[in-house]
Amino acid sequence: MANLRFIKSLNEKYDKKSKFRDLDFGRIDESFSSFSGEQYRRTFSESINNLGFDYKKYFIDSESADIYLLFIDICSFSTRFSHLNNKQLSVLLDTYYDIVIPTIYKHGGEIDKIIGDGIIAVFGAPFIPEHNLATKVNDCAKELIEKTKDTQLYSKVAINSGDIMYYHNKSIHYEEFTIIGKPITELHRLESISTDKKINFFTGSDYDRFLSHRIASNPYSGIASWLVSGSLAITPPLKGVTRFQHRKTMEKR
């Protein structure tokens, strides 16, 4: 996860109702300046505990969480906007964030990382209940593509899922939780080969099965207007991800 202060600030800026907004960093800052490292860690853990059992379960006790991850970035960002100066780039990115972040929040996601034009979002525990995650991430991805596809901010989305852990380095004064697990590694690899203006996902993945079932059970639903365009072989196959030899994309038609 991103730095907790950063998450709190984003939740406040975009008016997302969340328990992060209740985090008391004033008390944590006081412990940082006045107490020993052990006292600081205890104060930090107590603050997480105050968020509720689920946050303690995943953030303090490091239990595995079954989540969906969504990665959106602007297509060919470095190439298309290399002519802009820093001020112009700042305005462009602010506009982009104001589209993407509220959309992610609308569907229950939380921001994991912002890396320039790249934004990684988490759908699942402890932020939202673990049921219907595929529906939530699917609706979010479609809306993101729709909102950007006819603008200069047209983007691509990569989706992956699986078990991860939220790692917290307790040996130092550190307020960041890092996602550890194969799903995040695979997500970065998928993003690197993703197709513009499309939702990209692995053949045989949970999201692929969700789409196949949903289209088969209700071919006239809104999702049917998104064409799943076959299996596209990756050459070479993804290194170290032997069960993923193909990807699929989904685009608006």
Tokens 């088969």 -> residue: 216
Helix (H), strand (E) at residue 132: none
DSSP result, 31-66: HHHHS-HHHHHHHHHHHHHTT-HHHIIIIIS---EE
Give per-residue pLDDT as tens, 54-109: 888 888 888 999 999 999 999 999 999 999 999 999 999 999 999 999 999 999 99
Q: What is the pLDDT of residue 206?
A: 93
pTM value? 0.88
d(CA 152, CA 155): 9
Could you tell me what percent of the chain has a pLDDT over 70?
77
> What structural domains does the chain harbor?
4-196 (3.30.70.1230)
- pLDDT higher than 70, residue 10: yes
d(CA 173, CA 186): 29
Question: Between these two residues, 146 and 22, which has the higher pLDDT value?
Answer: 146
Helix (H), strand (E) at residue 135: helix 133-148
Is the distance from CB of 16 to CB of 10 less than 8 angstroms?
yes
Q: What is the pLDDT of residue 159?
A: 95
Cα→Cα distances 32→7, 36, 152, Å:
20, 8, 44
How many CB atoms are located within 10 Å of the residue 4 CB?
21
d(CA 148, CA 163): 30
Q: What is the pLDDT of residue 25?
A: 66
Give per-residue pLDDT as tens, 152-163: 999 999 999 999
- pLDDT higher than 90, residue 35: no
Cα→Cα distances 74→30, 45, 183, Å:
40, 37, 21
Triad 139, 145, 149: Cα angle to 5°? 155
d(CA 72, CA 158): 7
Helix (H), strand (E) at residue 129: none
DSSP result, 193-250: TPPTTEEEEETTSHHHHHHHHHHHH-TTSGGGGEEE---EE-SSPPTT-TT--EEEEE
